Amino acid sequence: MPESLSITASSVDPGLLALPWSTPLAEWPSSTIVFLPKGLSRHLVRFANLSGRVVAIKETTAEMARREYDMLGNLARLDAPCVERVAVIAGRRDARGEPLPAALVTAHLKFSLPYRALFTQVLRPDTATRLVDALAALLVRLHNVGFFWGDVSLSNTLFRRDAGAFAAYLVDAETGELHESGLTPGQREHDLEVARTNIAGEIMDLEAGGRLEGGVDAIAIADGIVSSYRSLWAALTDSESFGTDEAWRLTERVQRLNSLGFDIGEMSIESSADGTRVVIQPKVVDAGHHQRRLLRLTGLDVEENQARRLLNDLDEFRVRISRLGDDEEMVAHEWLTRVFEPVVKAIPWDLRAKLEPAEAFHQVLEHRWYMSQARGRSVPLAEVLTSYVDEVLRHRRDEATLMGPATDTVSLPVITANLPVMDDEDDDIDWRDLV
């Protein structure tokens, strides 16, 4: 009875109706399925092609799918990093009229990888630390908007490269609860404890499979999330007291938060009864300080550390062309057209699925630095680019699942299926060998 199929979505993609909902997900034909790396899970999750993009489909109960769908909507409204919801499909029946599980459909997060696909052989301690730091930052952001996760783990997180670090996204919101008036310390501690236990288990699992570099302590890595989380949380929320003659400390606090990538929505300032001391406490802090500035100046929407990197280059460009007095927007436009775009466009078309443009640009800058160091002089960008494309990029494996068309007029994007697992190549390259 196909008429009983119910689709919940904020905008219904007609392609959704074309998917074989009357077939159990496990039996979907390989023509519909896109093979991409995914994390471990209790439910069956598979990727499918939907109108030229990739979506993740999870089979679960109608209640759970609906709950997770609503939660992902709330998280998106609060600007928390998470996968984007697409639809809930309920009332599925097979050809014989037997009920099938409901399905939650989410958009595949482009250029993201589950942690197990970030390296081919062994997880190295510095990669592990970067993963855990990214997860700690995600947890701080989620707690800051009042989201209690309940099932924090590496498997429930997706990672994107972010200028040498990682940016983490929540993928599994099933166990989450939203308390917009804020979480209690007990709730936050609970999530941290769950995170620690799950990460320790996940790393030990790698160890058992021979996929952890020898001598690395799984417990120490797992403990890392607690310290990383606590120091970031304190930096964002701790109150600070100082004498009224030390007003610069207020500016300093704001700058410190900005450098961590956060903006202050509100700062509460109270002075002591005798008027000699002031207590400040940042209230609402939004992540993405550099992201927002770059977006405002150039229209580029990238990860936080990538934005920081691009802004540094923009600032250097401004000094280089001696236009310090000029309007920031004007210089930014010039930088975009004279520096950023030529670099991105110089990447051969067949190599563009390798890395996101902002990440490739970051790597070109890095490459320039190493080349200049080795030669003891600055190297022209064109030469750096040729060397980067031939020596580095060509040897990377693809990270995009979908590549946008060359121009807006080309209709169907190219799907790169069967994405191989890859090395965390940032670690593998000895840049000095290249020059």
**Given the rule CB under 5 A, which residues bind Mg ion?**
41, 156, 172
Cβ(57)–Cβ(25) below 8 Å = yes
Q: How buried is 154 (Cβ within 10 angstroms: 0-12 exposed, 13-18 middle, 19+ buried)?
A: buried
Instruction: Look at residue 401 and give the partner it binds from ligand ATP, Mg ion, none, a contact being a CB closer than 5 to 8 Å depending on partner kind.
Output: none
User: Which residue is at the shortest CB distance from Mg ion?
Assistant: 172
Identify which of residues 78 and 107 has a Cβ nearer to ligand ATP in the complex. Answer: 107
Structure letter (DSSP) for residue 71: H
- What angle in degrees, to the nearest 10, is found between the helix axes of 125-144 and 218-237? 40
Q: Is 109 in the site for ligand ATP (CB under 6 A)?
A: yes
Q: How buried is 18 (Cβ within 10 angstroms: 0-12 exposed, 13-18 middle, 19+ buried)?
A: exposed
Identify which of residues 155 and 298 has a Cβ nearer to ligand ATP in the complex. Answer: 155
The helix or strand, by DSSP H or E, that contains position 50, with its residue range, turns out to be strand 45-50
- Tell me how far the alpha carbon of residue 258 is from its chain's centroid: 19
- In terms of phi and psi (left: phi > 0; alpha: psi -120 to 50; beta: otherwise), the region of 182 is left
Give the SS3 label for residue 112. strand
Instruction: Look at residue 67 and give the partner it binds from ligand ATP, Mg ion, none, a contact being a CB closer than 5 to 8 Å depending on partner kind.
Output: none
Task: Classify the C-alpha dihedral 390-395-399-405 as positive or negative.
Answer: positive
Identify which of residues 42 and 96 has a Cβ nearer to ligand ATP in the complex. Answer: 42
Q: Is 396 in the site for ligand ATP (CB under 6 A)?
A: no
Q: Which of residues 28-87 bind ligand ATP (CB under 6 A)?
A: 38-39, 41-43, 45, 56, 58, 83
Identify which of residues 155 and 306 has a Cβ nearer to Mg ion in the complex. Answer: 155
Identify which of residues 65 and 280 has a Cβ nearer to ligand ATP in the complex. Answer: 65
Identify which of residues 158 and 257 has a Cβ nearer to ligand ATP in the complex. Answer: 158
Contact map string, positions 140 to 179, toward ligand ATP, x by CB under 6 A:
-----------x---xx-x------------xx-x-----
Cβ(390)–Cβ(411) below 8 Å = no
Residue 279 CB, shortest distance to ligand ATP, in Å, is: 42
Residue 151 CB, shortest distance to ligand ATP, in Å, is: 6
Residue 83 CB, shortest distance to ligand ATP, in Å, is: 4
CA dihedral angle for residue 187, residue 192, residue 194, residue 196, rounded to 10 degrees: -170
Residue 351 CB, shortest distance to ligand ATP, in Å, is: 23
Unique residue bearing structure tokens 């950023």: 340
Instruction: Look at residue 43 and give the partner it binds from Mg ion, ligand ATP, none, a contact being a CB closer than 5 to 8 Å depending on partner kind.
Output: ligand ATP
Of 227, 170, 222, the closest CA to residue 199 belongs to 222
Residue 156 CB, shortest distance to ligand ATP, in Å, is: 5
Identify residue 312 by its one-letter amino acid code.
Answer: N
User: Which residue is at the shortest CB distance from ligand ATP?
Assistant: 39
Residue 385 CB, shortest distance to ligand ATP, in Å, is: 31
Instruction: Look at residue 56 and give the partner it binds from ligand ATP, Mg ion, none, a contact being a CB closer than 5 to 8 Å depending on partner kind.
Output: ligand ATP
Q: Alpha carbon of 118 to those of 130, 259, 276, 426: distances in Å?
A: 12, 27, 53, 10
Identify which of residues 144 and 156 has a Cβ nearer to ligand ATP in the complex. Answer: 156
Residue 138 CB, shortest distance to Mg ion, in Å, is: 14
Identify which of residues 114 and 288 has a Cβ nearer to ligand ATP in the complex. Answer: 114
Residue 268 CB, shortest distance to ligand ATP, in Å, is: 38
Residue 86 CB, shortest distance to ligand ATP, in Å, is: 9
d(CA 167, CA 200): 20
Identify which of residues 153 and 387 has a Cβ nearer to Mg ion in the complex. Answer: 153
Beta bridge partners of 178: 147
Exposure of 24 in the CB half-sphere (CA atoms within 13 A):
8
Residue 159 CB, shortest distance to ligand ATP, in Å, is: 10
CB neighbours of residue 113 within 10 Å: 24
d(CA 423, CA 121): 7
Residue 223 CB, shortest distance to Mg ion, in Å, is: 22
Identify which of residues 114 and 224 has a Cβ nearer to ligand ATP in the complex. Answer: 114
Phi, psi of 379 (to 5 degrees): -110, 135
Identify which of residues 187 and 198 has a Cβ nearer to ligand ATP in the complex. Answer: 198
Which of 53, 108, 161, 293 binds ligand ATP (CB under 6 A)? It is: 108
Q: Which of residues 411-430 bind ligand ATP (CB under 6 A)?
A: none
Exposure of 96 in the CB half-sphere (CA atoms within 13 A):
2
| Binding interface with ligand ATP (CB under 6 A) | 38-39, 41-43, 45, 56, 58, 83, 106-109, 112, 114, 151, 155-156, 158, 171-172, 174
